[in-house]
Amino acid sequence: MVSSPVRTASKVTQVMEVIRHRVDRRLLTPGARIPSVRAMAGALIVSKSTVVEAYDRLAAEGLVEGRPGSGFYVAAPLAPLRLLSAEADTDPTADPLWTMRQSLRPAGTALRPGCGWLPDSWMPEDALRRALRSLARDGSGATLFEYGPPQGDETLRTLIARRMAEQGVDVAPEQVLLTDSGSHAIDLICRFLLESGDTVLVDDPCYFNFHTVLRAHRAKVIGVPYTPTGPDLTAFRTAVEAHRPRLYITNAALHNPTGATLSAAAAHRVLRIAESHDMVIVEDDIFGDFESEPAPRLAAFDGLDRVIRIGSFSKTLSAAVRCGHIAARNDWIADLTDLRLATGMASSPLSAALLVSVLTDGSYRRHVERLRVQLARRRGRVLDRLGRLGIEAWHVPTAGMFLWCRLPEGSDSAEVARRALADDVVLAPGNAFSVSGNAARFMRFNIAQMDDVRVDATLARVITS
Amino acid sequence: MVSSPVRTASKVTQVMEVIRHRVDRRLLTPGARIPSVRAMAGALIVSKSTVVEAYDRLAAEGLVEGRPGSGFYVAAPLAPLRLLSAEADTDPTADPLWTMRQSLRPAGTALRPGCGWLPDSWMPEDALRRALRSLARDGSGATLFEYGPPQGDETLRTLIARRMAEQGVDVAPEQVLLTDSGSHAIDLICRFLLESGDTVLVDDPCYFNFHTVLRAHRAKVIGVPYTPTGPDLTAFRTAVEAHRPRLYITNAALHNPTGATLSAAAAHRVLRIAESHDMVIVEDDIFGDFESEPAPRLAAFDGLDRVIRIGSFSKTLSAAVRCGHIAARNDWIADLTDLRLATGMASSPLSAALLVSVLTDGSYRRHVERLRVQLARRRGRVLDRLGRLGIEAWHVPTAGMFLWCRLPEGSDSAEVARRALADDVVLAPGNAFSVSGNAARFMRFNIAQMDDVRVDATLARVITS
């Protein structure tokens, strides 16, 4: 049977698309040999002449070049790095970046139970406006105009070290490096410790930006199921032994998205396993200030030997004042400082001055105490409201803003999130947090972003429809 | 002849150090085979038994592991990424990071003719304090507390697009991405377009942070001699043809460190060569506002097709308000935005609001005009003062803060910089800017940082001593 010309043309295009896709996604890099005509014909179930025509056309475009007797090789330059997954073209909700973009859209009238921060009205507005006025009046020329010291403002580093001491982490201000944010801190550490292709352990589920930043580093990500007291220790040990990861990235205190808390026993076991396999741990303490009772810190047990502690004030003070930090061994801080200078100079002395001002005028502790009370008040109420919709918490956290919930049987949280957008309600579907993709029935809710009862109406509509 | 035991021990240590150094510098990565005993013995001119003992000791330490019949392999985890060169341990002044660290030390009583920015007293102090007061009074909750939109504040992006239009670069606000700084902009582009080992072209000399950021990306850097009208075009073509670089990073308008300006003819030729070899160009426009007469822009000729334009207000407005930008093709901006979200979330809306405030209250243009006058007034005077010390400008720039100068015969600028530190005078030795290392007699001076005549006394002392 002879294929019709149309059919052949579309098959040629199909072969071309397969190669183009692999080059676009850096699965084939410059100079790499593309599959032989025979292999490609076999794989796509097309004739060899179809593949030959496709390869010839790609060569005419300059994407590949033929070498007589040897095959075809990629001739195009390296494709730019795209983080959005190819699947996202058809189903964007499956991608953590989709959730990030949606959450960061200007609020307008949108409701955002899926976002990861508190409403503006909860934030220390008087204190920040006061800090701005005081900076306008008394800020030095260096604070207003200069790059600032390589490691960042010393007063802020001293305050951070003092606050860590209260959590049992013994650290000198010289061991603290200021970054532009918590995400920036993780990114710097990944650059410092990883190479493309290295393996990293994360919790399953975990904060979705751990996935995107690791995608930027082209790391191999292994998830370990998370339990209400920390990672599943058997699975953790098995994963460490099988994959020899260089790094384990996790939350301190209140785990995102589950709100669970690491037990002392789990902390001890995790550290023992890390030690015996020379694995470094990044402990992200960004939600620490929401705790009512301080949970065990890996950084405290370990004394910042193989644990690197990161944090920021984005969740409790302001996400607009960009400033995060890394606390680690002295020699690592020296090298991380060079890396941060080379890739973005030093942290803003102006941001540091604003934070120091709010952290030291006495209002911050009262503000954080108020946040805890407001969250505690809402937690039970939101649990009741969700319960009436058949949505159940996987775990009831003692503090923090998140509830990790199971939707009614048969629900697909990505589909639910898509439908909710029609009502301008931004949700956070479970699989954005899950490397295994087994959280399709889960969703993270932010109890501080659910005062408006329109959320319930939308949820009722989108879950049952 | 039999070596003494002491001598053998030190030779064993020497072999061990060679391997340790290669592992520390990632020249040998986990799983890599280390040189055979025979090869190592031959290379270091030691006996095979010395190498065997060294390898056995390294195996006992866990750094390598022997595989029977196959040799020794690296068993240690990947070494952290160190940017400071190994040579810097003995001669720090040879390293661009040394110059950066020195420049960023808190000023105190130090004089800094080597630094790359203007004194605080030259900066728009009233305007920035006014902007802070206005933000304290009228800033919205979103500006003070939220992450801000993924691409960054729209008003600032619109202002940047409008300013680029005045330079002949046609760009929509949607094609602008805000970053945390100009360095951050370059870093994002390198992550987007490069892989470890890729080749990048730079000017020789060029801004020293181009070297450090490319070191962070482990790029192969090729320098092209710079002339008063742009890169040496013959050398440029030869380098592009020989090395097929993915990227050429250069300055727009006033070249750092030489103060030279690209001619229209050179711009045209550079673009033609880039087009025929599918090379992307990053044009760093950070000194553009110092120009009296606008020089040709590669971004204008090319229409932001293969040219990516970056900039910031660190030099003319404030380095403490961290904010830079990238202007590029729409599809690239979309992917770069994802990359910036994944590695550090969005740019501060608070920083953007401060910049918008100063850029729109009418004071910025007057301020920049004043800067030009102040610099013009000093340029001739500083040239005279340097001339009396036997220091001559390689080129007399029409604008900007830099003079790239040749020291008297026999001078070594690194040695001069080291000696000057004793007087608390920070200089910028030529080889920090030069990939070929052929600028040992050169030095970059910042004419805005030389009002204090103690600089002349120190220079006189350290040059002739």
- Which burial class, exposed, middle or buried, applies to B257 when counting CB atoms under 10 A from its CB (0-12, 13-18, 19+)? buried
Do β-strands A392-393 and A199-204 pair in parallel, antiparallel, or remain unpaired? unpaired
The vertex-B318 CA angle with B314 and B321, nearest 5°, equals: 90
Strand ranges, E, within B173-297: 176-179, 199-204, 220-227, 230-231, 247-251, 280-284
Asked if residue B145 and residue B61 are part of one domain, the reply reads no
Q: Alpha-carbon distance B394 to A201, whole Å?
A: 54
B272 belongs to a structural domain: yes
- Residue A182's alpha-carbon distances to A116, A185, A295, A325, A443, in angstroms, are 13, 5, 20, 7, 23
CATH number for position B39: 1.10.10.10
Q: Alpha-carbon distance A323 to A182, whole Å?
A: 7
**Cβ–Cβ under 8 Å, residues B289 and B368:** yes
- Residue A206's alpha-carbon distances to A250, B45, B340, in angstroms, are 8, 54, 20
**Cβ–Cβ under 8 Å, residues A275 and A250:** no
- Per-residue pLDDT at B7: 58
**Cβ–Cβ under 8 Å, residues A26 and A79:** yes
Of B187, B322, B338, the CB nearest to A343: B187
Residues 42 through 81 of chain A touching chain B, CB cutoff 8 Å:
76-78, 80-81
pLDDT in tens, A236-258: 999 999 999 999 999 988 999 99
Q: Which residue of B has its CA nearest to A148?
A: B104
Q: Which residue of A has its CA nearest to B186?
A: A343
pLDDT in tens, B48-82: 999 999 999 999 999 999 999 889 999 999 999 98
- Per-residue pLDDT at B3: 47
- Which burial class, exposed, middle or buried, applies to B382 when counting CB atoms under 10 A from its CB (0-12, 13-18, 19+)? buried
B80 belongs to a structural domain: no
For A423, the 3-state DSSP assignment is helix
Contact A216 B29 (CB under 8 A): no
Asked if residue A68 and residue A155 are part of one domain, the reply reads no
Contact A338 B97 (CB under 8 A): yes
A134 belongs to a structural domain: no
Count of alpha carbons within 13 Å of A154, Cβ hemisphere only?
4
Asked if residue B298 and residue B218 are part of one domain, the reply reads yes
pLDDT at A441 over 50: yes
Which secondary structure element, helix H or strand E, spans residue B74, and what is its range? strand B71-74
Asked if residue A107 and residue A59 are part of one domain, the reply reads no
pLDDT in tens, B101-131: 878 877 677 899 999 999 999 999 999 999 9
Q: What is the dihedral of CA A13, A17, A19, A20, to 10 degrees?
A: 120
**Cβ–Cβ under 8 Å, residues A446 and A400:** no
Of A215, A339, A343, the CB nearest to B184: A343
B198 close contact with A: CB closer than 8 A: yes
Asked if residue A342 and residue A226 are part of one domain, the reply reads yes
Q: Which amino acid is at A57?
A: R
- Residue B343's alpha-carbon distances to A185, A258, A318, B80, in angstroms, are 9, 23, 19, 19
Among A361, A396, A420, identify where a domain stops.
Answer: A361
A396 close contact with B: CB closer than 8 A: no
Of A139, A145, A321, the CB nearest to B319: A145
Of A136, A144, A343, the CB nearest to B216: A343
Angstroms from A87 CA to nearest CA on chain B: 15
Q: Alpha-carbon distance B285 to B309, whole Å?
A: 7
A109 token code pair = 């009238």
Of A80, A132, A322, the CB nearest to B136: A132
Tell me which residue range forms the domain holding A235.
Answer: 139-361
Q: Which residue of A has its CA nearest to B214?
A: A342
Contact A338 B84 (CB under 8 A): yes
For helices B125-138 and B349-360, angle between their N-to-C axes, nearest 10 degrees? 120
A-chain residues near B346 (CB < 8 A): 104
Listed in sequence order, the DSSP H helices in A199-263 are 208-216, 233-243
pLDDT at A447 over 90: yes
Among B313, B335, B360, identify where a domain stops.
Answer: B360
What is the average pLDDT value for chain B, to the nearest integer?
Answer: 93
B-chain residues near A341 (CB < 8 A): 97, 100-101, 104, 212
pLDDT at B396 over 80: yes
Report the 10 Å Cβ neighbour count for A235.
16
Residue A344 per-residue DSSP state: H
A-chain residues near B150 (CB < 8 A): 100-101, 104
Suggest the residue from A147, A181, A354 to mutate for an interface test with chain B (most B CBs closer than 10 A).
Answer: A147
Q: Which residue of A has its CA nearest to B350?
A: A320
Q: Alpha-carbon distance A428 to A446, whole Å?
A: 9
pLDDT at B6 over 60: no
Number of domains in chain B: 3
B-chain residues near A117 (CB < 8 A): 146-147
Instruction: Provide the pLDDT confidence category of residue B382 given band limits of 50, 70 and 90.
Output: very high
Q: Alpha-carbon distance A382 to A389, whole Å?
A: 11
Q: Which residue of A has its CA nearest to B334?
A: A82
Q: In terms of residues, how long is chain B?
A: 465
A129 belongs to a structural domain: no
CATH number for position A423: 3.90.1150.10
A209 close contact with B: CB closer than 8 A: yes
Chain A / chain B CB contacts < 8 angstroms = 253
Q: Alpha-carbon distance B56 to B39, whole Å?
A: 16
Q: Alpha-carbon distance A402 to A382, whole Å?
A: 11
Q: Which residue of A has its CA nearest to B179?
A: A344
pLDDT at A451 over 80: yes
B169 token code pair = 């670069």
Asked if residue B281 and residue B192 are part of one domain, the reply reads yes
For A332, the 3-state DSSP assignment is helix
Asked if residue B168 and residue B144 are part of one domain, the reply reads yes
Asked if residue A201 and residue A220 are part of one domain, the reply reads yes
pLDDT at A110 over 90: no
Contact B97 A342 (CB under 8 A): yes
Report the 10 Å Cβ neighbour count for B384.
9
Question: A171-193: buried (b, 16+ CB within 10 Å) or exposed (e) per residue?
Answer: bebebbbbbbbbbbbbbbbbbbb
Residues 177 through 196 of chain B touching chain A, CB cutoff 8 Å:
180-181, 183-184, 187, 191-196
B81 belongs to a structural domain: no
Instruction: Provide the pLDDT confidence category of residue A109 given band limits of 50, 70 and 90.
Output: confident
* Residues pairing with A280 in the sheet: A247
A110 close contact with B: CB closer than 8 A: no
A-chain residues near B125 (CB < 8 A): 141, 144-145
Asked if residue A249 and residue A143 are part of one domain, the reply reads yes
**What are the φ and ψ backbone dihedral angles of B325, each rounded to 5 degrees?**
-155, 160
pLDDT at A5 over 70: no
Which secondary structure element, helix H or strand E, spans residue A222, and what is its range? strand A220-227
pLDDT in tens, B312-364: 999 999 999 999 999 999 999 999 999 999 999 999 999 999 999 999 998 89
Angstroms from B312 CA to nearest CA on chain A: 12
Among B326, B345, B360, identify where a domain stops.
Answer: B360
Contact B133 A132 (CB under 8 A): yes
Contact B83 A339 (CB under 8 A): yes
A-chain residues near B208 (CB < 8 A): none
Contact A342 B215 (CB under 8 A): yes
- Per-residue pLDDT at A1: 44
For B203, the 3-state DSSP assignment is strand
**Cβ–Cβ under 8 Å, residues A235 and A258:** no
B52 belongs to a structural domain: yes
Asked if residue A158 and residue A268 are part of one domain, the reply reads yes
A80 belongs to a structural domain: no
Q: Which amino acid is at B21?
A: H
Question: B21-51: buried (b, 16+ CB within 10 Å) or exposed (e) per residue?
Answer: ebbbebebebeeebbebeebbeebebeeebb
A127 belongs to a structural domain: no
Asked if residue A270 and residue A342 are part of one domain, the reply reads yes
**Cβ–Cβ under 8 Å, residues A462 and A126:** no
For B438, the 3-state DSSP assignment is coil
The vertex-A412 CA angle with A407 and A418, nearest 5°, equals: 110
A-chain residues near B149 (CB < 8 A): 104-106
- Per-residue pLDDT at B429: 93
Distance between start and end Cα atoms, chain A: 48
The vertex-B394 CA angle with B397 and B299, nearest 5°, equals: 50
Angstroms from A14 CA to nearest CA on chain B: 23
Q: Which residue of A has its CA nearest to B207?
A: A342
Q: Which amino acid is at A424?
A: D
A-chain residues near B278 (CB < 8 A): 76-77
Q: In terms of residues, how long is chain A?
A: 465
* Nearest alpha-carbon partner for A296 in A337, A265, A341, A328: A265
Asked if residue A388 and residue A370 are part of one domain, the reply reads yes
Angstroms from B84 CA to nearest CA on chain A: 7
* Nearest alpha-carbon partner for A331 in A160, A192, A180: A192
* Range name among A5-9, A283-287, A349-353, B72-76 with the lowest pLDDT average: A5-9
